[in-house]
Structure 1
Amino acid sequence: MKKTLYVTDLDGTLLNQKDRVSDFSIKTINDLVDKGMLFTYATARSLVSASKVTEGLSTNIPVIAYNGGFILRPSTGEILSKEDFNNEERKYVREVLVKYNIKPLVYSYVNGIEKVSWIPEFENDGIKRYINNRQGDKRMRSVSDEDSLYEGEVFYYTCIGEEEELKPLYDIFSKDKRFRCTLQQELYRPEYWFEIMPANASKANAIKKLKEMWNCERVISFGDSMNDIPMFEISDESYAVENALDELKKYATGIIESNEDDGVAKWLIENI
């Protein structure tokens, strides 16, 4: 058999509605990894957030975080690959966000330490929920002004709010080849998330790198949402969970059971 890399999205795909990997999926995947399956995940989450919701799941290869911005060793946090903005790009993003009076969550390295900065004065319900779900996360850094908000080597921006206030930003950045961006409704929630990344930060590009690192000949992927389309396009086979967006299903090799019904784990049992 050709050496195959198996890659799954997390939220809405491997994770259930409780933001966890079921015991059945953990046991199934771990057993297959022990037998030699090359399995990893590609997520918009950070490694810190992803590690929490995948606790108990073993991976024998690096994982993909921040929508492909980083490839990291899950056991140590070592960065194997990283996409970044240059200073001119960071300056431009800040100017546009200030112009539209949007106060984002800013992901950066401040004095060499990863931080997520925000201004509490401008919290909306979506940001409050994000912050409350990360109690004890040492990356979280509340600041009082915009100079502090944009401090450090910024590598990712997240804006949470109403679709109508974020759509103009999407229209601007989606047409600029220096950036990649996504605008989609939060899973199981009413608010929208608008995220800005370096142009080369994508799950597809990161998977290509990982495929080469591990000398794999094929890629099989699993997903549920629009940001999984590039990943599906570069995969030899791709499977959308039953609860996936209809638009993604158009790109899929096949449809598998939902995230609530352990669709990824069941497909792996039947096909490996």
Structure 2
Amino acid sequence: MRTLYVSDLDGTLLRSDERTSGYTNRTVNRLVGEGMLFSYATARSFQTARKVTAGLEAEIPLIVYNGAAVADHRDGSFLQMNFFGGEAAEILDELEACGVFPIVYAVAGGREMFSYLPARCTRGMRAFLETRKNDRRANPVATRRTLRAGDIFYFTCIDEREKLLPLYEKYREQYHCVFQVDLYTREQWLEIMPKAASKASAALWLKSSLGCGRLVVFGDGENDVDLFEAADEAYAVANAADVLKAVATGVIGANDEDGVARWLDAHARCAAQTQGGV
């Protein structure tokens, strides 16, 4: 029976320096070469995920934007995607009425982009955008109308907790929402996606597409709970949130100890050797 292994990135496969280590790269690449089916599921885009995993050779599609999309590992083109419909405009109206101006991710004319109003950026948004300098997706706009361009699939709000919490409570049942403090900046984030978008649904789609019979996953945060619940086996790294450990099959080494790669080296080698190539 073929097994698909899927790992979260930040706080899980990545060390605290936001990179995969040389050991992790060598181990995963060797096992992939032996036939292991390995991917990752991240809130990051394809572009930023590839930067922080430089040296890692994942040879199958990648789950990005918290499961809103599955991207081809070679060029980042979307293989599976979840878009908002007319409700995107309603969400923007309600966010703006609350004084929240999000980063809006969309596809327009075949171009993937994130739009924002520079004059309305919070400190947290400016810090985020600073890490995306020279990103070809960046689309600063001058008006609220142009903030709505394209087919929208993701909203990122970085603002005060007191402003974002009521919005999270409003939307959490209607859409797929992630409400958490950023691992690195400690800023409060609210991310809003179509209801069908999740790491779990994307991983199950990929599992089916690859003809796999089992799904084994790794994670660290509360936003990985749905992925854990969809998997046959789920392992939380030692630095994971308690809520995730509570639904895990087991707890493995921490991210800064290369816990995922060490577990794979110890447990996935035989499976990789018997599965053959992708």
Q: TM-score, normalised by structure 1?
A: 0.96
Partners of 1:145 and 1:70 in 2: CA distance? 27
Mapped contact 2:158–2:187 kept (Cα < 8 A): yes
Name structure 1 gaps, 5 residues minimum: none
The question of 1:190 aligning with 2:186 is answered: yes
Displacement after TM superposition at 1:135 (Å) = 1.4
Q: Secondary structure at the match of 1:240?
A: strand
Partners of 1:266 and 1:229 in 2: CA distance? 22
User: Deviation string for 1:184-227 (max 9, x for gaps)?
Assistant: 00003321110010010001101111011000000100000011
Divergent runs of 4+, >2 A: none
Partners of 1:249 and 1:78 in 2: CA distance? 34
1:203: which partner in 2? 199
Partners of 2:31 and 2:186 in 1: CA distance? 37
Displacement after TM superposition at 1:110 (Å) = 2.5
Q: Which of 242, 245, 259 does residue 246 from structure 1 map onto?
A: 242
The question of 1:12 aligning with 2:40 is answered: no
Partners of 1:189 and 1:247 in 2: CA distance? 22
Displacement after TM superposition at 1:91 (Å) = 1.8
Q: Which of 145, 148, 159 does residue 146 from structure 2 map onto?
A: 148
2:276: which partner in 1? none
Partners of 1:80 and 1:136 in 2: CA distance? 25
Q: Secondary structure at the match of 2:6?
A: strand
Displacement after TM superposition at 1:173 (Å) = 0.5
What amino acid is the match of 1:263? G
Partners of 2:187 and 2:76 in 1: CA distance? 30
1:114: which partner in 2? 112
Partners of 2:140 and 2:68 in 1: CA distance? 23
Identity %, equivalent residues: 43
Q: Secondary structure at the match of 2:126?
A: helix
Partners of 1:31 and 1:112 in 2: CA distance? 35
Partners of 1:239 and 1:175 in 2: CA distance? 27
Partners of 1:152 and 1:84 in 2: CA distance? 10
Stretch of structure 1 that moved more, 28-37 or 71-80:
71-80
Partners of 1:84 and 1:155 in 2: CA distance? 4
Mapped contact 2:89–2:148 kept (Cα < 8 A): no
Partners of 1:105 and 1:9 in 2: CA distance? 23
Q: TM-score, normalised by structure 2?
A: 0.94
Partners of 1:123 and 1:98 in 2: CA distance? 12
1:86: which partner in 2? 85
2:21: which partner in 1? 22
The question of 1:45 aligning with 2:41 is answered: no
1:100: which partner in 2? 98
User: Which has the higher relative contact order, 1 or 2, with Cα contacts under 8 A spaced 6 or more apart?
Assistant: 2
The number of residue pairs the alignment matches comes to 268
Mapped contact 2:245–2:251 kept (Cα < 8 A): yes
Partners of 2:160 and 2:241 in 1: CA distance? 20
What amino acid is the match of 2:149? E
Name structure 2 gaps, 5 residues minimum: 269-278
Partners of 1:95 and 1:252 in 2: CA distance? 39
CA-atom RMSD in angstroms: 0.9
Displacement after TM superposition at 1:105 (Å) = 0.3
What amino acid is the match of 2:140? S
